[in-house]
Structure 1
């Protein structure tokens, strides 16, 4: 949704007329944010479809929005393709099971399709992890993803991904798509969103303490982020032991860490803080918050922290709102993550470290930064001209260039 939303204002400028098919927000258990519609141009046609009621499908263990909406996507897009000549179907979602429809529409209507891999679909990452570190219903989702991914990917005409490794892994796994157009395109920075968030910040629930120096992370949690978070909290613990009055002013927030429905999320960061004995200075809010609530909260923070996964393919799409906020920033990622280079190029004043982040120089750097923050010294992050190439407009241009390449190279498929 996020990539499409920030691309819609620019598709027409680059010669593409887009129509959107999406599930009506009333069928999603996640928080809704109607402010998102303010950035969608009025001329864009948006077709909202139904989904099976989660209240009933959850009794069968099927809460996935993708599975609940699959039939409705099939029916709506069939109608559109019968009525109007479209050049391309573009799947940009993490509800990956709907992508299997691309193979059907290609066979039925002769229309090519592009898949945007914002996360891995089928992955072996959790196979060697203990049960408590695996996502809910992992046994089922692992097998479902393993079955559905090849159906969608083997017939795809183009690939976009936030990580080059995603493309490499998929082309290695499926030789059938080795020659199709593909490009690594991160999510774009969309500056108008900040103005909207600030205009409406009074309508969001305040989440931060007025009596502390607040260091904020907003995004998913998970045990795979412990390697990035642990060294920061370990350094913080040592500082607390040296001067509790000074460093006790710092409070770390981890907000929106679970994808579970509100009230049902399990903390994954607070247990680490408890293990290290710094839980009094760490707040974990498992409930997701809306996108603009996130932006407003980042603006209200004294400083920001981005924790990356230990997965080298992980690229945090959230880095652009962090950089646009121009707040002091501490980031810890796997050294192979593309986020490291993006932040270093775009915001030289940001403090970026890589996992395992336990060497003396890194610990000293983190300690010096936390010490400065505790004493009220905040060095704003300024973006360089290099940051422009990560703007939503420039990355929309990269998308349509790939679309054009797909149309140029596609083999005509005779509809049945």
Structure 2
């Protein structure tokens, strides 16, 4: 059993975007000057990020040589139907770091929308690319980009389980933990410094908390019976967990430092899979108190639960968007498990996949995308989707079956 500082994975991911949205912004990304000599193709990473968001459509930028200091001929780009243009350069410095610069142009209005420069080691070229995509996304949509955030997920390869931390596009995966026993339910703390997860290394489910930067971990919950389904409170001071220490599976809250848990639910049913609303006031969870699994909510300190899902006879795996507007969950439909999204204000539900083995949805921190696991061609895979289901991207890895994704918070710059 190894809990180690993060080490890079060999597996490389390939992003495949499918579907067409209604109002995608056409953007041209000219290959960055000097990027042929760079180990990362900056403009291609930025374009893949923007396309995966569902908000942008790439425009042919071939045959042009521009950088951040150029004054582009915007008439040409209007003829190519681009609304905006990204140009830049990447230069290797004498100390082996890279100087990455870019500029964003509004082609329609003829405006320079600014740019930035980053001086980074080779290992951070992808991060610099994601930050460029974040800048472009925010300037053109008015909302914060999520490309420099991270995801966590679990793979099973043979009899080995690995817990990974990766960029939001699935690349740059680093192993946080390896075990011959299952690892399930990884979940980020709200500041992105810690992961809680469930390990079966002691032949029963036990909850650990893992420090992402140091690789050190601590035991959080190892009570009699099952310890499972950890969920961080937004303030990071406590977690909700599912324990069977007093009989059936019930919800408890426990300090992030450990100690004695406090029981939240008092039912003869199975209550599990807690998750907090972003403001910390509400816990959503799954219960079969009505005869079959459905999603309920209650105050964060317990109290009388209210049923949330009514369509379908089997609804599990709730995830609430950071803006509080949306609930994503998995519904069993005729034997198939499909990702659904509910608008909480209206109760309107939309099925957004045509796959049959979806699991574990998790919202991006800007509430605009969902990552989930599913089966494609008999293999488990990670997907992202827009909330309307129109734009999906596969994060296709080579590291075995992929499951249990969770999307981390915004990164501090």
TM-score by length of 2: 0.27
User: Relative contact order (alpha carbons < 8 A, sep ≥ 6): 1 or 2 greater?
Assistant: 1
More strand by share: 2
More helix by share: 1
TM-score by length of 1: 0.27
